[in-house]
Chains A and B, each alone.
Chain A
């Protein structure tokens, strides 16, 4: 198997006039990976993604996709599917016509009815795009992006506006693509999706890649949390609380299992009921907030 990365971004800079949207960004995505590029608003995700997709040139630095400049459309696009953040379909064409049109321009082959099926748009096949809901347009977008099972798929906010069934169906389709070896680049505001799905995550903030790694690698840099409430006049717990507000305690710890065991043992021995006890590992949200607050 080739070790050449599917995407290789090296010291990328993007400027718009005086504004530097992306600075000195480097990352790689390997074959078959699901890489989530996340970030705060205005972090430079969309600019980065559009450059990697070949929609705009880098101000400096290099971007290679399948070893080629992604602006070489004829060479790169037949292996690539792109789900844009905004729809971009002709309102007067039907769903089936739209898939057929965009599909025919990918230079890949597929069955339009199959795509209508996996995106649950069969009943809307003859409906004009102008009459679709926001969620249906996202599904149409997904159908065109995965037409012909490309080697690389960009999913820009794929589940925004989708109901839970549609989200599940979309992720099932993504899972099947991954079984076929497709590389996925994902951006999303739903962090739990990235946490569940991504092999690796790049967290962007103010135009730079602030952190990168697996979910475990990213979350182990921050402590886990235990939250609980105590009844009035209860003795103080044996652990040092990070914060205490209105009888609610927050304990941050890198030894979650040990500290939780200590706390529960103390509560049992002291006959204290821990109200609304919550304990869990660090979530991606916490890492995200830590970056935003830094």
Chain B
């Protein structure tokens, strides 16, 4: 597993396109959000910036890279090659996705720390940690499911659009309009509950118990995605 992860890490840094889309782009946009934090805070709140940053990094950096990586490794038969060894299927997937997951998590932590340093610390950092890990897990699962529908890295540019756009739109919608109205709908949308969890952790104002309820929709998306992935995911290209 770790040798696969090491190989992926090497490839991540050798492939300029992946490097830009998964590492540099999310950081650049996050830096922009933080530099314009007063403007974005007026639109919504400081929690909105945190939620938008988390959504952006996990959607562009983690989710899209997950789908593209798995589609590319399947297309060039690398997945089949790995399955020709003693490595287990779960070990292969963990190895392939570990580097981008760790990098994304570090990016999120560093950027939110910078946001905290610039604008003030979140009201409930522990809840924020829960929100970050729950979002990362959900986006990974969504990536696995989408990879099952994606034939090639080129195809990934199309198949990743719905979830990416939905997660970013939902984060903006909830961040700007709040959760008083249409709260159930907002929570059930992809990334909705995660956004609300980040808002609660950063802005405060909601009890921990009420916030933890939000893990329900996130878990539902995670279970749905994993279920879809187990049905849709293929290790070899279609014949």
Contacts and interface: CB of A to CB of B under 8 A. Distances in A.
Interface of A: 53, 55, 73-74, 77-78, 82, 84, 86-93, 97, 100-102, 104-107, 128, 144
A268 B16 CA distance: 77
B86 A90 contact: no
A88 B80 contact: yes
A144 B88 CA distance: 18
For A73, A88, A128, which residue has the most chain B Cβ atoms within 10 angstroms? A88
B80 A77 contact: no
Closest A-B pairs by Cβ, 3 of them: A88-B77, A105-B85, A88-B81
A102 B81 contact: yes
A74 B89 CA distance: 11
A77 B87 CA distance: 9
A68 to B, nearest CB: 13
Interface string B68-92: 0000010011101111111110000
A93 B11 CA distance: 7
B10 A89 contact: no
A100 B3 CA distance: 9
Interface string B1-29: 00110110011001100000000000000
Nearest to B85: A105
Given A87-B77, A89-B81, A97 B10 contact: yes
A55 B76 CA distance: 16
7 contacts: A84-B81, A84-B84, A90-B11, A90-B76, A97-B7, A105-B86, A144-B81
Interface string B152-177: 00000000000000000000000000
B88 A73 contact: yes
Interface of B: 3-4, 6-7, 10-11, 14-15, 73, 76-78, 80-88, 236
B80 A55 contact: yes
Q: Is the interface of B mostly helix, strand, loop or mixed?
A: helix
A92 B3 contact: no
Given A91-B76, A128-B14, 4 more contacts: A55-B84, A90-B78, A100-B3, A106-B86
A275 B23 CA distance: 74
Contacts of B83: 55, 73
Contacts of A89: 76, 78, 81
B3 A88 contact: no
A128 B76 CA distance: 15
A78 B87 CA distance: 10
Nearest to B77: A88
A20 B83 CA distance: 25
A105 B82 contact: yes
B18 to A, nearest CB: 9
A278 to B, nearest CB: 42
B10 A82 contact: no
A78 B84 CA distance: 10
B82 to A, nearest CB: 7
A161 to B, nearest CB: 16
A90 B87 contact: no
Nearest to B79: A88
Most buried by B among A53, A105, A107: A105
B15 A53 contact: no
B86 A107 contact: yes
Nearest to B18: A92
B10 A105 contact: no
A107 B87 CA distance: 9
A282 to B, nearest CB: 36
Contacts of A77: 84-86
A90 B4 contact: no
A73 B86 contact: yes
A84 B14 contact: no
Contacts of A104: 3
Contacts of B81: 84, 88-89, 102, 144
